[in-house]
C-alpha cells in the first residue's frame, strides 16, 4: 500500500499506541489520517461505523481500539472485555468490507496464546490450548477477530493483516491503578512510595512470572511497516526478544527511581501466565522489522515522563540501573 496516497483510519488514534502510530504514519508520508473519537464513531454501534465510513471513505483501517487492562481489570470485567473487544472488531471489519476498504490491519494480543505453550511462542501454536484464565475472555475476543480476518480474506478478498503484540510501555502510558498494565503500575508504586518516604511497596504474585515488553514507538513502527509492506493471512508476533521476570522488573524500576524500601509480595494474588516470550522471526523475515529501543532506554524515558508529568521530585534518576 502506498501510504503517501492512502487515506488511513486509525481506531483508538487518540490513545497511547494510537498517537505514536499517527506520528509514524506522518513520517511515512501519509497526509490523510482519520482518527475518530468514540463520540464521533462508536465502534460498538454498526450504524455509527456505517455512517462514518460512508462519509470518510478510508482506503485502509488500522484497528487499535480496545478495552484493555492488567490482571485486576481483566478479573473485574471479563464480560465487558470479551463483548466490547469482540463486537468492535466484528462490526468494524464487516462495515469495512461493505464500504470497499482495501486493507485492514488488526492488532491482536499474545493473551490469545495457550496458557501452557512452548517458549518462545510461535504463531503455529495459537490453537494448542486455552488461554491463561485471568485474561482468557480478552484473548479469545481478539482471537475471534483474527479468525474473522482470515475468513474475510478467503471469502471476500479483503486484505486483513493481524499483528500479535506483546505488552507495550512508554511515555504517555496508562498509569491508572485500576486499569494499568504492569510497568506503569510498578513505576507509579515505586515513584509514589519514594515521594511519601514509604518503607515498602506491595506487588501481586510471587515474582516468578516472566514477561516480554515492547517500547511503544517500536510497536508503531512495526504497525506502519506492516501496513505498507505485508499482505498475507498468517498472523505475526511483534516483540522485542527480551524476557524478564516480574521480580527482576520490580528491582530494576526501584533502582531507576531511587526507591530503596522493601518489595513485599502478595502471593494471594495471581501471577498470570507463567512465561511470555514470543518468536518474532516471522515479522523480521517478512518485512525486515526488529525492535531498536533497548529496555533500559525505554524504561528510563517512561519513568522520566511519569515523574515530569506528575510534577514530582525532578531528582529521580531516569538513567541506567544502579
Which residues form the catalytic set? 138
C-alpha closest to that of 221 among 273, 300, 290, 159: 290
C-alpha closest to that of 168 among 1, 312, 19, 271: 19
- Dig out the grid coordinates for 249 from the structure: 522488573
Amino acid at each position: 500500500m502506498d501510504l503517501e496516497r492512502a487515506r488511513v483510519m486509525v481506531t483508538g488514534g487518540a490513545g497511547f499506541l494510537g498517537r505514536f502510530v499517527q506520528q509514524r504514519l506522518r513520517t511515512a508520508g501519509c497526509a490523510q489520517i482519520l482518527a475518530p473519537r468514540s463520540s464521533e464513531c462508536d465502534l460498538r454501534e454498526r450504524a455509527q461505523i456505517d455512517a462514518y465510513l460512508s462519509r470518510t471513505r478510508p482506503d485502509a483501517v488500522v484497528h487499535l481500539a480496545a478495552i484493555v487492562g492488567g490482571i485486576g481489570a481483566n478479573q473485574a470485567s471479563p464480560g465487558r472485555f470479551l463483548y466490547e473487544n469482540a463486537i468492535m472488531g466484528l462490526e468494524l471489519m464487516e462495515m469495512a468490507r461493505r464500504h470497499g476498504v482495501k486493507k485492514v490491519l488488526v492488532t491482536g494480543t499474545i493473551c490469545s496464546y495457550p496458557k501452557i505453550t512452548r517458549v518462545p511462542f510461535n504463531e503455529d501454536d495459537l490453537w494448542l490450548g486455552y488461554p491463561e484464565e485471568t485474561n482468557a475472555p480478552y484473548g479469545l475476543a481478539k482471537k475471534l477477530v483474527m479468525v474473522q480476518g482470515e475468513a474475510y480474506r478467503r471469502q471476500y478478498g479483503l486484505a486483513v493483516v493481524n499483528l500479535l503484540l506483546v505488552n507495550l510501555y512508554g511515555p504517555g502510558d496508562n498509569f491508572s491503578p485500576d486499569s494499568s498494565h504492569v510497568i506503569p503500575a510498578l513505576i507509579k508504586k515505586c515513584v509514589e512510595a519514594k515521594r511519601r518516604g514509604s518503607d515498602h511497596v506491595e506487588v501481586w504474585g510471587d515474582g516468578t512470572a516472566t514477561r516480554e515488553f515492547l517500547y511503544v514507538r517500536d510497536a508503531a513502527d512495526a504497525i506502519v511497516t506492516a501496513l505498507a509492506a505485508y499482505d498475507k493471512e498468517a498472523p505475526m508476533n511483534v516483540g522485542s526478544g527480551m524476557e524478564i521476570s516480574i521480580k527482576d522488573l520490580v528491582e530494576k524500576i526501584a533502582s531507576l527511581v531511587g526507591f530503596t524500601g522493601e518489595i513485599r509480595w502478595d502471593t494471594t494474588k495471581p501471577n498470570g501466565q507463567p512465561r511470555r516470550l514470543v518468536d518474532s522471526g516471522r515479522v523480521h523475515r517478512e518485512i525486515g522489522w526488529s525492535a531498536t529501543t533497548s529496555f533500559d532506554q525505554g524504561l528510563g524515558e517512561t519513568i522520566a515522563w511519569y515523574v515530569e508529568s506528575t510534577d514530582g521530585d525532578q531528582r529521580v534518576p531516569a538513567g541506567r540501573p544502579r
